[in-house]
Amino acid sequence: MTGRDALGRRAFVAGTGAALLAAGAQGAAQAAVVDGPLPDFHPLLKRELTFPLAWGTSPVRDFRAWRQAARAKVEELLIVGRDEHIPYAPRFADRREDDGYTGESVTLSLTRYERVRALLLTPHGTGPFPAVLLLHDHGAKFDIGKEKLVRPWYDDTRLASAQGWADKYFSGRFVGDELARRGYVVLVADALGWGDRGPLGYDQQQALASNFLNLGSSLAGLMAREDARAAGFLASLERVDRRRIAAVGFSMGAFRAWQTAALSDDVAAAAAVCWMTGLKEMMVPGNNTLRGQSSYYMLHPGLPRFLDFPDVASIAAPRPMLFFDGGLDPLFPADGVRAAHDRLRTVWRSRHAEERLHLRTWSDLGHVFVDRMQDEVFAWLDRVL
């Protein structure tokens, strides 16, 4: 290299370094105004999310064919394999008679990996009965899972914890017990990390999820698979009218409810309380989702490249679906709820089934499932099932 060439190269490197430093300073300035762990170029990433598989955007115009294609894409991105041929092999125990129903625990195989203990409530009388798959919330409270929704008669320590949770979010009620008294068979199981399958520490969630990915699997995918299998178990019981099974949940349980309806034909209806939004509207500075941790239970890698949350829920159309949101809920911005409701309404309307879609925002309520909300859900279930 000549002296002139070397000098030119040094000048080029120096100039490039100055440009990089300037760009870095500019990036740092931009990053400083971003509130939360988002990259400073996150608006560009969001702009790339066009949800090309959504109904109406997808080139597939036959709705049944679209449902099949959309569900297949979600199934693919769950990563966890299907276990529909694994016997449930249920074992029943802890039987207890209560006012209007019988409670018992049941241990069964939802996947090939482990046995899971669930609670099963059966109304007194002659079946087959309608049934509800209840799906518990997250709430960063891991000592109880299924006990958040069914009063635990077998453990006083869990009973005290569960009653406190019911008082905080459910007007002191146990939603599963209320449904059983109203004539529904009820099944609720612990998701991985809660109750008998925990308790998980809050800061352990992210490590658990990353280790699932390292093992070629998915924490969110496992939960989705287990929930769909639980619906299938309900449908297999002689005491249940398999044509009248609903999925019902609050908070993360609401996410699980509409997701299960999208993935399982065993679910005839779903009620989701306080979990529905547009993804882009949720991914904003300050939103709880940006903290990671609990988000991993609802995060399917790569899915936003194809479908938004309401698009996935729409796979269940035109079956009856209920979505409640709290106008004061800090977890789900109002514009995200509106965007999602508009999207859902468009899909059900396209199926000439808008009357089967029940959307409501409770303007005076936050992130709760209180008694008056419950009563409306119960009345809705009676109508649609």
What's the pLDDT tens digit per position in 310-358? 999 999 999 999 999 999 999 999 999 999 999 999 999 999 999 999 9
Same domain, 89 and 232: yes
* pLDDT for residue 28 is more than 50: no
Give the number of other CB atoms < 10 A from CB of residue 382. 12
Whether 323 is in a domain gets the answer yes
Query: Is the residue at 93 inside a domain?
Result: yes
The answer to whether residues 215 and 108 belong to one domain is yes
pLDDT at position 18 over 60? no
**Pair (122, 255) in one structural domain:** yes
**Parent domain of 72:** 63-384
Q: What is the mean pLDDT of residues 31-48?
A: 77
On whether residue 331 sits in a domain, the answer given is yes
pLDDT at residue 177, rounded to an integer: 98
Same domain, 28 and 70: no
The total of structural domains in the chain comes to 2
Residue 5 has a pLDDT of 42
Encode pLDDT of 242-284 as tens digits: 999 999 999 999 999 999 999 999 999 999 999 999 999 999 8
Cα 45 from Cα 39, distance rounded (Å): 9
Residue 325 phi/psi, 5° resolution? -135, 155
Question: Tokens 């409270």 identify what position?
Answer: 141
Query: Do both 7 and 76 map to the same domain?
Result: no
Q: Is 1 exposed, middle or buried (0-12, 13-18, 19+ CB in 10 A)?
A: exposed
* Sign of the torsion formed by the C-alpha atoms of 195, 261, 224 and 105: positive
pTM beyond cutoff 0.85: yes
Decide if pLDDT at 14 tops 50.
no
Contacts of 131 (CB under 8 A, 6+ apart): 184, 185, 186, 187, 234, 237, 240, 241, 244, 245, 246
What mean pLDDT comes out for the span 35-45?
83
Indicate if 129 and 258 belong to the same structural domain.
yes
In a domain, 41, yes or no: no
Give the pLDDT band (50/70/90) at residue 68. Answer: very high
> Residues 198, 239: one domain?
yes
Please check whether residue 50 lies inside any domain of the structure.
Answer: no
pLDDT (average), residues 72-91: 95
Query: DSSP 3-state assignment of 29?
Result: helix
Average pLDDT, the chain: 92
**Predicted confidence band of residue 13 (pLDDT cuts 50, 70, 90):** very low
Please report whether residue 43 resides in a domain: no
Q: Among 119, 95, 91, 93, which residue's Cα sits nearest to residue 107? A: 91
Convert the pLDDT of each residue in 174-225 to its tens digit. 999 999 999 999 999 999 999 999 999 999 999 999 999 999 999 999 999 9
Residue 292, pLDDT score: 84
Classify 204 as helix, strand or coil. helix
14 and 108 housed in the same domain: no
45 is a domain residue: no
Tell me, yes or no, whether 29 and 161 share the same domain: no
Q: Is the same domain home to 282 and 168?
A: yes
What percentage of the chain has pLDDT greater than the value 70? 91
Whole-number pLDDT of residue 38: 87
Give the CATH number for residue 131. 3.40.50.1820
- pLDDT value of position 36: 62
Residues 135 and 13 grouped into a single domain: no
Residue 21 lies in a domain: yes
Q: Kindly report which listed range (81-85, 251-255, 360-364) carries the lowest average pLDDT score.
A: 81-85
Which pLDDT does position 16 carry in this prediction? 37
- 12 and 83 belong to one structural domain: no
